[in-house]
Protein backbone atom coordinates (compact mmCIF):
# COMPACT_ATOMS: atom_id res chain seq x y z
CA UNK A 1 0.00 0.00 0.00
CA UNK A 2 1.45 3.35 -1.02
CA UNK A 3 1.52 6.52 0.95
CA UNK A 4 -0.84 8.09 -1.59
CA UNK A 5 -3.49 5.40 -1.07
CA UNK A 6 -3.16 5.59 2.72
CA UNK A 7 -3.72 9.33 2.51
CA UNK A 8 -6.72 8.88 0.19
CA UNK A 9 -8.29 6.25 2.45
CA UNK A 10 -7.71 8.45 5.51
CA UNK A 11 -9.46 11.42 3.89
CA UNK A 12 -12.37 9.25 2.70
CA UNK A 13 -12.60 7.67 6.16
CA UNK A 14 -12.62 11.06 7.90
CA UNK A 15 -15.36 12.48 5.70
CA UNK A 16 -17.39 9.26 5.96
CA UNK A 17 -17.26 9.33 9.76
CA UNK A 18 -18.08 13.05 9.73
CA UNK A 19 -21.09 12.40 7.47
CA UNK A 20 -22.40 9.60 9.72
CA UNK A 21 -21.95 11.77 12.84
CA UNK A 22 -23.76 14.64 11.09
CA UNK A 23 -26.72 12.41 10.24
CA UNK A 24 -26.88 11.04 13.79
CA UNK A 25 -26.76 14.54 15.30
CA UNK A 26 -29.78 15.70 13.28
CA UNK A 27 -32.03 13.64 15.55
CA UNK A 28 -32.49 13.97 19.27
CA UNK A 29 -31.27 11.01 21.21
CA UNK A 30 -28.56 9.61 23.45
CA UNK A 31 -26.19 9.06 20.53
CA UNK A 32 -26.45 12.68 19.40
CA UNK A 33 -25.91 13.94 22.96
CA UNK A 34 -22.86 11.69 23.35
CA UNK A 35 -21.37 12.80 20.02
CA UNK A 36 -21.91 16.49 20.73
CA UNK A 37 -20.50 16.26 24.27
CA UNK A 38 -17.50 13.94 23.83
CA UNK A 39 -16.64 13.68 20.13
CA UNK A 40 -17.43 17.10 18.64
CA UNK A 41 -14.89 19.04 20.68
CA UNK A 42 -14.19 21.46 17.80
CA UNK A 43 -17.90 22.01 17.00
CA UNK A 44 -17.55 20.79 13.42
CA UNK A 45 -20.71 18.67 13.30
CA UNK A 46 -23.44 20.86 11.80
CA UNK A 47 -27.01 20.98 12.99
CA UNK A 48 -29.45 21.70 10.19
CA UNK A 49 -32.85 22.74 11.38
CA UNK A 50 -34.69 23.69 8.23
CA UNK A 51 -37.87 24.13 10.21
CA UNK A 52 -37.50 25.53 13.69
CA UNK A 53 -38.83 23.38 16.52
CA UNK A 54 -40.86 26.40 17.69
CA UNK A 55 -41.26 28.75 14.75
CA UNK A 56 -41.67 32.45 15.38
CA UNK A 57 -45.29 33.50 15.49
CA UNK A 58 -44.83 37.19 16.17
CA UNK A 59 -42.79 40.22 15.20
CA UNK A 60 -40.92 42.41 17.64
CA UNK A 61 -40.81 46.18 17.42
CA UNK A 62 -38.21 48.44 19.00
CA UNK A 63 -39.32 52.02 19.57
CA UNK A 64 -37.73 54.97 21.32
CA UNK A 65 -38.61 58.50 22.34
CA UNK A 66 -36.82 61.48 23.81
CA UNK A 67 -37.56 63.81 26.69
CA UNK A 68 -35.88 67.18 27.18
CA UNK A 69 -35.04 68.90 30.45
CA UNK A 70 -38.38 70.74 30.34
CA UNK A 71 -40.13 67.35 30.62
CA UNK A 72 -41.50 67.57 27.06
CA UNK A 73 -41.77 64.04 25.70
CA UNK A 74 -41.48 63.38 21.98
CA UNK A 75 -43.28 60.88 19.79
CA UNK A 76 -42.31 57.22 19.58
CA UNK A 77 -39.97 56.42 16.67
CA UNK A 78 -39.59 52.84 15.49
CA UNK A 79 -36.12 51.47 14.88
CA UNK A 80 -36.49 48.89 12.13
CA UNK A 81 -35.37 45.47 13.28
CA UNK A 82 -36.06 43.88 9.92
CA UNK A 83 -36.58 45.56 6.60
CA UNK A 84 -38.17 44.55 3.33
CA UNK A 85 -35.66 42.83 1.08
CA UNK A 86 -34.91 43.98 -2.42
CA UNK A 87 -34.22 41.68 -5.36
CA UNK A 88 -30.47 42.47 -5.25
CA UNK A 89 -30.01 41.75 -1.52
CA UNK A 90 -28.64 38.30 -2.25
CA UNK A 91 -25.61 40.09 -3.74
CA UNK A 92 -25.40 43.32 -1.76
CA UNK A 93 -26.95 43.69 1.69
CA UNK A 94 -24.69 45.75 3.96
CA UNK A 95 -27.32 46.06 6.71
CA UNK A 96 -27.92 42.30 7.01
CA UNK A 97 -25.53 41.61 9.89
CA UNK A 98 -26.53 44.71 11.83
CA UNK A 99 -30.24 43.87 11.57
CA UNK A 100 -29.64 40.18 12.38
CA UNK A 101 -27.63 41.07 15.47
CA UNK A 102 -30.29 43.52 16.64
CA UNK A 103 -33.03 40.92 16.10
CA UNK A 104 -31.03 38.33 18.08
CA UNK A 105 -30.42 40.79 20.93
CA UNK A 106 -34.12 41.66 21.10
CA UNK A 107 -35.01 37.96 21.21
CA UNK A 108 -32.46 37.41 23.97
CA UNK A 109 -33.99 40.18 26.06
CA UNK A 110 -37.48 38.79 25.46
CA UNK A 111 -36.26 35.35 26.61
CA UNK A 112 -34.78 36.85 29.79
CA UNK A 113 -38.03 38.66 30.54
CA UNK A 114 -40.01 35.46 29.97
CA UNK A 115 -37.68 33.52 32.28
CA UNK A 116 -38.07 36.09 35.07
CA UNK A 117 -41.84 36.09 34.67
CA UNK A 118 -41.91 32.29 34.77
CA UNK A 119 -39.89 32.35 38.00
CA UNK A 120 -42.28 35.00 39.42
CA UNK A 121 -39.46 37.48 39.99
CA UNK A 122 -39.57 41.21 39.37
CA UNK A 123 -37.49 41.41 36.19
CA UNK A 124 -37.16 45.19 36.29
CA UNK A 125 -34.67 44.98 39.16
CA UNK A 126 -32.23 42.96 37.06
CA UNK A 127 -32.99 43.80 33.44
CA UNK A 128 -30.93 46.98 33.26
CA UNK A 129 -27.83 44.97 34.13
CA UNK A 130 -28.23 42.33 31.44
CA UNK A 131 -26.11 42.41 28.32
CA UNK A 132 -29.07 42.47 25.87
CA UNK A 133 -30.60 45.47 27.66
CA UNK A 134 -27.32 47.39 27.58
CA UNK A 135 -26.77 46.51 23.92
CA UNK A 136 -30.25 47.68 22.95
CA UNK A 137 -29.75 50.88 24.93
CA UNK A 138 -26.43 51.44 23.16
CA UNK A 139 -28.11 50.92 19.78
CA UNK A 140 -30.88 53.35 20.66
CA UNK A 141 -28.36 55.94 21.87
CA UNK A 142 -26.65 55.85 18.45
CA UNK A 143 -29.81 57.14 16.76
CA UNK A 144 -29.96 60.86 15.98
CA UNK A 145 -32.07 63.15 18.10
CA UNK A 146 -34.02 66.24 17.19
CA UNK A 147 -33.21 67.67 20.62
CA UNK A 148 -29.81 69.37 20.90
CA UNK A 149 -29.81 70.09 24.62
CA UNK A 150 -29.25 67.48 27.34
CA UNK A 151 -32.00 64.94 26.98
CA UNK A 152 -33.23 61.56 28.06
CA UNK A 153 -34.17 58.56 25.95
CA UNK A 154 -36.57 55.72 26.65
CA UNK A 155 -37.17 52.58 24.61
CA UNK A 156 -40.00 50.12 24.32
CA UNK A 157 -40.27 46.55 23.06
CA UNK A 158 -43.60 45.56 21.59
CA UNK A 159 -44.87 42.37 20.00
CA UNK A 160 -47.35 41.97 17.17
CA UNK A 161 -48.73 38.88 15.51
CA UNK A 162 -47.00 39.59 12.21
CA UNK A 163 -49.06 39.26 9.05
CA UNK A 164 -51.91 37.66 10.93
CA UNK A 165 -53.74 40.42 12.74
CA UNK A 166 -55.63 38.14 15.11
CA UNK A 167 -54.51 39.99 18.24
CA UNK A 168 -53.59 43.52 19.17
CA UNK A 169 -49.92 44.47 19.68
CA UNK A 170 -48.71 44.01 23.24
CA UNK A 171 -46.00 45.73 25.22
CA UNK A 172 -43.15 43.59 26.48
CA UNK A 173 -40.99 46.24 28.12
CA UNK A 174 -40.93 49.99 28.56
CA UNK A 175 -37.59 51.16 29.91
CA UNK A 176 -37.01 54.08 32.19
CA UNK A 177 -35.63 57.31 30.73
CA UNK A 178 -31.84 57.23 30.44
CA UNK A 179 -29.83 60.47 30.41
CA UNK A 180 -27.73 60.69 27.27
CA UNK A 181 -25.64 63.84 27.41
Q: Contact 68/151 with Cβ under 8 angstroms?
A: yes
Tell me how far apart the 2 most distant CA atoms of the chain are, in Å.
86
Please, how many CA atoms are within 13 Å of residue 85, restricted to the half-sphere of its CB? 9
DSSP annotation of 88 reads G
Q: Contact 88/76 with Cβ under 8 angstroms?
A: no
* pLDDT tens by residue, 26-64: 888 898 889 888 888 777 888 776 555 555 677 888 999
DSSP annotation of 107 reads H
- Phi first, then psi: what are they for 59, rounded to 5°? -110, 145
pLDDT per residue rounded down to tens, the chain (181 residues): 788 899 999 999 999 999 999 889 888 889 888 988 888 877 788 877 655 555 567 788 899 999 988 888 889 999 988 777 777 777 887 777 888 888 889 988 988 888 877 766 665 677 888 999 999 999 998 888 766 776 899 999 998 876 656 677 788 899 999 988 7
Please tell me the distance from the alpha carbon of residue 96 to that of residue 149, in angstroms, as a whole number.
Answer: 33
The predicted pLDDT at position 164 comes to 59
| Cα angle: 97, vertex 42, 90; to 5 degrees | 25
Please tell me the distance from the alpha carbon of residue 57 to that of residue 69, in angstroms, as a whole number.
Answer: 40
Per domain, the residue ranges of the chain are: 3-39, 59-179
Amino acid sequence: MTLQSIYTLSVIGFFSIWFVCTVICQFKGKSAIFLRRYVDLLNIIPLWTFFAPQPGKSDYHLLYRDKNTDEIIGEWTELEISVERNWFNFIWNPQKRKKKILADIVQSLVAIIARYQKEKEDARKFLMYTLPYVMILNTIIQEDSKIKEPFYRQFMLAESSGYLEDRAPSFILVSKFHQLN
